Amino acid sequence: MSKFAVKPAAEDNTPADNKLKQTRCKNRRVGIAVRLSPDDWYRASDLALREQTSLQRLLVAGLSELLRQRGLPPLSGD
């Protein structure tokens, strides 16, 4: 189990040049996972198909609407 422990800062002998580089939010977009039950996924996919759009756009539109309702600016893209 000790191999899973985090080393205290004093024991960390890694040079600053050799640290891990940032990978999140580095590109233009960041991927996220959304977990739905099979029934909810089917309903959402069916809505996207009927609206001739993607699940991505439906999710962004829904989040943007919630932000607007709270007086916040909507998301900038899809």
pLDDT in tens, 44-55: 999 999 999 999
Q: Give residue-wise pLDDT tens across range 4-14.
A: 666 555 555 55
Q: Does the pTM of the predicted model rise above 0.75? A: no
Token code pair at residue 52: 């001739």
Number of helices (H), then strands (E), belonging to the chain: the values are: 2, 0
Q: Radius of gyration over alpha carbons of the chain, in Å?
A: 21
